[in-house]
Structure 1
Amino acid sequence: MPVLDEERHLEDSVRQVLEQDYEGRVEVVLAVGPSSDRTEELAARLARADPRVRTVPNPSGRTPDGLNAAIAASRGEVVARVDAHAEIPPSYITTAVRVLDETGADNVGGIMDARGTTPFERAVATAMRSPLGVGGSRFHVGGGAGEADTVYLGVFRREALESVGGYDPHFSRAQDWEMNHRLRQQGRRVWFTPDLVVTYRPRSTVRRLAAQYRGYGRWRRVVARRHPGTANARYLAPPVMVAGTLAATVVGLRWRPALVVPLGYAAAVTVGGWVVAKGETPAVRARVPLAIATMHWAWGIGFLTSPASLADGWDDQIR
């Protein structure tokens, strides 16, 4: 578990791992970054309170560095990635190990079940569970079990992780997709199962959501540069939308019919957002179009403005 500024969630996240119903031995390795809150103090206290919990330093605070440090310090034949923002059910490890055994897969994962508390968080969660917001990835919207390009978090065979050298420390974002791509290049199997459902807590403000999705777009462009041919239509849709909408808006200043493009996008997001939020409160439904548009535009702008230097090793970690 890589942790940075996670005072609010860390104790609950660790408790959920320690309360797993798995019959084998479980250990928790916390890779602790230089936090601005009491995360480091809390992690140390948790380690003192339970011998199953250990900490390792992550001086850079970057996710791939923390993951690799925690993996190196762990001892099990199965390695489960858990995030402090995620909430795993008691049967998570038991189910994952069973699916690993039944399928022969090298990494298994399930559904990223976004759930919010405030109206905006619930709007973001609604958008994240909808193809209109994030496309058709099964770990977002659900679906049948089977091989997948990537999965949420992941429960791995240690041997498979070691065979590809773990997470590429270059990737501040998209490190899961990139590492799973290398697993699949080796002929290994990444498996999605709807039997694993992990509660995810979305960003709480428009600014934080935009920063998150801008980072996703920027780093997904780096993956496309590193691994040509991996950018499919779903990943290209947001940057194409941004470029097309902006161009049509500029043309529309002189030729009004072109404004049908930005107006059509706005109408589609508004109506679509209301439809996917059916059953939610009016306060949530009113915010879903904003959440969807923020995700689309931030991802698309991030992809379009991603500098080539990122692929060469320059890092712009967004915390």
Structure 2
Amino acid sequence: MPVLNEADHIEAAVASLIAQDYAGDFDVMLALGPSTDGTDAVVRRMQLADPRIRTAPNELGTTPEGLNIAIRATVNPIVVRVDAHSQLPTDYTRIAVETLLRTGAANVGGVMAAEGKTPFETAVALAYGSRVGLGGTPHHVGGEEGPADTVYLGVFRRDRLEAAGLFDENIRRGQDWELNRRLREQGDTVWFNPALRVTYRPRSSYSRLARQFLSTGMWRGELARRYTSANGLRYFVPPAMVLAVAVGLLLGLFGVVRLALGHGSRWPLIGFAMPAVYVAFVVLATLLVAARHGVRTATWFLLVLPCIHYCWGIGFFFGVAKLTRNIQAYTGR
């Protein structure tokens, strides 16, 4: 588990690992980044209670470096990749290992079951788990068991993971997809099992959510530029939407200015149709997905959905334009 500034989540996440009902030997390796919120003190307290919790320093604090540091610091033949925002059900490791043995896959994973505690977090969780939010991929909404392009987190055979070269430390987000791409290229199978459902705690504030999806969109754009196999149609929907709404607004405003000056016809005003269609889409999605969860959650959903779409879509353009490193350095993400 890579860990950075997770004082609010780390204790529950690690407790879920210690509580696994897996019968074999296991240990917990945390790659600790330079946290500033008291995370390390929480970890030290947990270590006193259970010696299976070990740590290694991750000076850069990034996810792929932390994952590789933790993997290299362990020796067991199966590697369970976990996240500080996730909580594993007690049978997760047992089912995953059984699936590895049954299928012969190099990596198995399941569903990221987002759950929120506050109305804002609940709104984010609903967006994660619906087709209107993140596109409806199986590792977000579920599906049939079988081979997949990628899965959430992942439980790996160490020998196949090492043969693929571990995680690419030059890719800050999307590193799971990119590693699974290499596993498939070397002839291995990535297997999706919906029985593996991992509770995920969403970001707790609007600004954190915006930064998360700006970064996610940038790295998806970077991957789309690098690899043809990353160019699935669903990845282009958010940037296409951002572009269409922006062009529509500009065209409509151009029409308003021309009319105010007494020039031209009204046809440019049709550009306002695009933002109007998107607003209608968000309102309809809110009624269908979030309304039954209460007024506060539904109100947040009205704001969360555009945040995810726009930050992801704008970030995608930065990634395609090779600006990922510059923006990453500026935001520190």
**Does TM-score exceed 0.5, indicating one fold?**
yes
Correspondence for 2:95: 95
Q: 1: distance between equivalents of 2:44 and 2:21? A: 25
Alpha-carbon offset, residue 136 of structure 1: 2.0
Counterpart for residue 77 of structure 1: 77
1:286 aligned residue = 299
**CA–CA distance in 2 between the matches of 1:86 and 1:277?**
23
Aligned with 2:313: secondary structure?
Answer: helix
Q: Which AA in structure 1 matches 2:322?
A: A
Deviations 1:1-26 (A, max 9, x none): 11111122222221211111000001
CA distance in 2, matches of 1:277, 1:292: 11
**Range moving further from structure 2, 65-74 or 34-43:** 34-43
Distance, in Å, in 2 between the alignment partners of 1:138 and 1:39 is: 32
Between stretches 212-221 and 267-276, larger displacement belongs to: 267-276
- RMSD across aligned positions (CA): 1.8
**Paired residue for 1:186?**
186
State whether structure 2 residue 198 is matched by structure 1 residue 198: yes
Shift of 1:44: 3.0
Which string of whole-angstrom CA distances, capped at 9 and with x for unpartnered residues, describes residues 59-98 of structure 1? 0001100000000001111100111110111001001001
Q: TM-score, normalised by structure 1?
A: 0.96
Write out per-residue CA displacement over residues 153-191 of structure 1, whole angstroms, 9 at most, x where no aligned residue: 111110111011100000111111111111111121111
Kept after mapping to 2: 8 A contact 1:218/1:302? yes
The answer to whether the 8 Å contact 2:221/2:318 transfers is no
Deviations 1:109-151 (A, max 9, x none): 1110111111111111111110011102101111111111111
Is the deviation greater in 227-236 or in 72-81?
227-236
- For residue 47 of structure 2, give the secondary structure of its aligned residue in structure 1: helix
AA paired with 2:141?
Answer: V
Quick one: distance in 2 between partners of 1:247 and 1:62?
A: 36
Q: Percent of pairs identical after alignment?
A: 46
Q: Shift in Å at residue 205 of structure 1?
A: 1.8
Q: Which residue of 1 aligns with 2:322?
A: 308
Shift in Å, 1:51: 2.2
CA distance in 2, matches of 1:111, 1:163: 26
Q: Please tell me whether the aligned partners of residues 215 and 318 of structure 1 are also in contact (alpha carbons under 8 angstroms).
A: no
Shift of 1:316: 6.1
Residue 139 of structure 2 aligns to a residue in which SS? helix
Q: Could you tell me the TM-score, scaled by structure 2's length?
A: 0.92
Is 1:274 aligned with 2:287? yes
Q: Note the residue ranges of structure 1 that are not aligned, 5 or more in a row.
A: none
Opposite residue 260 of structure 1, the aligned amino acid is A
Amino acid at match of 1:55: T
Residue 165 of structure 2 corresponds to 165
**Do the aligned partners of 2:115 and 2:122 also contact (CA within 8 Å) in 1?**
yes
Residue 216 (1) aligns with residue 216 (2): yes
The structure-2 alpha-carbon separation of the partners of 1:222 and 1:7, relative to structure 1 and needing over 3 Å to count, comes to: same
Where 1:194 maps in the other structure, the secondary structure is strand
Identify which range, 105-114 or 8-17, moves more after superposition: 8-17
Q: Distance in 2 between matches of 1:46 and 1:30?
A: 12
Shift in CA distance, 212/75, structure 1 to aligned 2, threshold 3 Å: same
Give me the whole-angstrom Cα distance separating, in 1, the residues matched to 2:127 and 2:100.
30
Whole-Å separation in 1 of the counterparts to 2:229 and 2:44 = 44
User: How many angstroms apart in 1 are the aligned matches of 2:3 and 2:25?
Assistant: 22
Q: Secondary structure at the match of 1:193?
A: strand
More helix by share: 2
SS class of match (1:279): helix
- Quote the Cα distance in structure 2 between the aligned partners of 1:79 and 1:11: 20
Equivalence for 1:66: 66
Equivalent residue pairs, number: 319
Corresponding residue number in structure 2 for 1:296: 309
- Cα deviations across residues 272-316 of structure 1 (Å, max 9, x unaligned)? 12201253112212221221111111000000122415479x866
In 2, Cα distance between equivalents of 1:309 and 1:267: 32
1:246–1:131 CA distance, 2 compared to 1 (3 A): same
Q: Do the aligned partners of 1:95 and 1:196 also contact (CA within 8 Å) in 2? A: yes
Task: Provide the C-alpha distance between the structure 2 equivalents of 1:61 and 1:47, rounded to a whole number of angstroms.
Answer: 20
Structure 2: runs of 5+ lacking an equivalent: 256-267
Paired amino acid for 1:294: C
| Structure 1 runs (4+) greater than 3 angstroms displaced | 309-312, 314-319
In structure 1, what residue type is equivalent to 2:314?
I
Counterpart secondary structure, 1:308: coil
Tell me what 1:137 maps to. Answer: 137
Aligned to 2:248: 248
